[in-house]
Chains A and B, each alone.
Chain A
Amino acid sequence: MGKDKNYFLNEKPEKMTYGGVFRKINDWARARSLWVVAYGTGCGSIELRPTFTSRFDAERLGMRMVGTPRQADVLIISGYLTVKTLKRVIRVYEQMQSPKYVVALGACPINGGMYYDSYNAINRLDLYLPVDVWITGCMPRPEAILAGFKRLQELIDSGKADGWKKYIENLDWYRENQRKIIKNWRMPNYNW
């Protein structure tokens, strides 16, 4: 690790306080400027393209696709999540800067969907990452995705979308679950 010291946190991240004088304005702005990391984990990402382009135009809600997790606010788990992808998803999620939100798309992150008995797919996503909004369907249409994002905006507006805080508070529990699935944990302990 030595020379990479600058690139990762070496100890557990602190609990983050949230609020302050501008809390209302912050929540208002956060709800209206959701940047989504352009990362499709499963087949659901095929529905994200029409959502973000001319037909359904998610940009009118202030949403945008960004190419790097550092600048993103929302991570969409689009469909089934394999064991191999889970590792990448954890790294992406932890590299995002707080406050950050997770949207689970489709039936697969809820109970495994049609891959419920697969040897390499995750059945319940919220054992590994804190999920703010679930959107069911297989696959949900862009209308459903937009409705889900409306719900996420309402949650952020009222200050209830605090999955990122719970993740840091219960990091040990999440880590335990994650390590059960990922046998070869060859990445930094704290990916921030």
Chain B
Amino acid sequence: MMWAKIFYAFLALLGGIAYGLFLGGVSRKITARMQNRRGPTIWQNFIDLWKLFRKKTAISHGVMFYLAPMFRLVGGAGTFLLVPIVVGSPYLSNFSFGGDLIVLMYFMVLGCLGMALGAAESGHPHAPIGVTRGLSQMAGYELPFVISVVVLMVADKTTSIEGIVRAQQGGILHWHLFTHPFAAAAAFISLLGMMGSYPFQVVLAPQEIAIGPPTEYSSTFLSYMFSGRSVFAVAKYLLFMNLFLGGASNLLWAFVKTFVIFLWPLFITNVFPRFRLEQSVLFFWTWPSLLGLIDLVRIYLVR
């Protein structure tokens, strides 16, 4: 049974990477249509990934430089494997277990930290700037996200994703999106920061600090980071689906709901310019955090 579970989790991981790359292509296509041009094919990210994977590498910047893309990939894949896709299904619940939400919140940081160490070793001046910004930004969006997750934990008296999904069963109005709208708003705003959507795009910051932390990364390294990033994005969509949109009863619903969540940062990112770092962090520490706190207070008063 254990081996079957590992086998299905591995299949799900491959599917997650492919789905993430596909979503990346769709987002490039939608962006292009919004800018009134044709845009690349929706399979463009697969082509990019293959090209990057087969490019040659002639540089070496030390051990951590090599390990960082692996951290990124493992961080993404690990997060993905901790989130159940279809709760209750023996094949599609990955390695979720009781209390996994707390483990997950720690694990989501791993990729960023590995990236920070590796980028710092690359020696390019833009990399430490990007890393500093990334870690500060993380301190910003973690606060509203943690507040809203705590709201759900307190409301449902459980720390497992499966328990939170089960608490939302019985119709669309039982979803946490509707029962705890303020906490949901806080979490969805912090999702913008997690995804590096545009008002909060201070880390990669194209045209400003080249491409930030991965400035020195090339070819195969970049392909690992690319796939790690894709699967990490899918993991976050799945997590939000489970926390706020009532989970999924089968694979089709999982696709539909994650696609809807994927559209939210995409539409925001295409119409906004960029905050400065301190504006971005200050924003996260005020409005979404206050929204989250409203629901936290409400939970305690109602009980």
Q: Mark A163-192, 1 if CB is under 8 A from B, else 0.
A: 000000000000000000000000000001
CA distance A66 to B226 in the complex (A): 14
Residue B48 interfacial (CB < 8 Å): yes
Q: Tell me if B's interface is mostly helix, strand, loop or mixed.
A: loop
A93 CB → nearest B CB, Å: 13
Q: Mark B21-65, 1 if CB is under 8 A from A, else 0.
A: 000000010001001111111001001101100111111111000
Residues from chain B with a CB closer than 8 A to the CB of A30 are 51, 54
B32 touches A57 (CB 8 A): yes
Query: Quick one: which of A53-90 are within 8 Å of B by CB?
Result: 53-54, 57, 59-62, 66-68, 70-71, 73
Residue B222 interfacial (CB < 8 Å): yes
A101 CB → nearest B CB, Å: 12
Which A residue's beta carbon lies closest to that of B46?
A29
Residues from chain A with a CB closer than 8 A to the CB of B215 are 67-68, 70
Which A residue's beta carbon lies closest to that of B38?
A60
Residue B218 interfacial (CB < 8 Å): yes
B38 touches A57 (CB 8 A): yes
Binds B, one of A5-13, A108-116, A139-147: A5-13
Say which residue of A6, A71, A73 sits within 8 Å of B123 (CB atoms).
A6
Which B residue's beta carbon lies closest to that of A32?
B47
A71 touches B218 (CB 8 A): yes
CA distance A22 to B54 in the complex (A): 9
A97 touches B61 (CB 8 A): no
Residue A26 interfacial (CB < 8 Å): yes
Say which residue of A6, A53, A57, A192 sits within 8 Å of B58 (CB atoms).
A192
A33 touches B47 (CB 8 A): yes
B225 CB → nearest A CB, Å: 11
Residues from chain A with a CB closer than 8 A to the CB of B38 are 57, 60
Which B residue's beta carbon lies closest to that of A16?
B56
B40 touches A62 (CB 8 A): yes
CA distance A33 to B41 in the complex (A): 11
If A29-B51, A30-B51 touch, whether A59 touches B28 (CB-CB below 8 Å) is yes
Residue in B28, B48, B214 with the greatest tally of chain A CB atoms within 10 Å: B48
If A68-B211, A97-B218, A192-B59 touch, whether A29 touches B39 (CB-CB below 8 Å) is no
Residue A99 interfacial (CB < 8 Å): yes
B36 touches A71 (CB 8 A): no
Which B residue's beta carbon lies closest to that of A66?
B211
B217 touches A25 (CB 8 A): no
Residue A98 interfacial (CB < 8 Å): yes
Which B residues form the contact surface with A (CB < 8 A)? 28, 32, 35-41, 44, 47-48, 50-51, 54-62, 123, 206-207, 210-211, 214-219, 222
Which A residues form the contact surface with B (CB < 8 A)? 6-7, 9, 13, 16, 22, 25-26, 29-30, 32-33, 53-54, 57, 59-62, 66-68, 70-71, 73, 97-99, 192
Q: What are 9 A-B pairs with beta-carbon distances under 8 A?
A: A6-B60, A9-B58, A33-B51, A54-B35, A60-B37, A62-B41, A68-B211, A71-B214, A192-B58
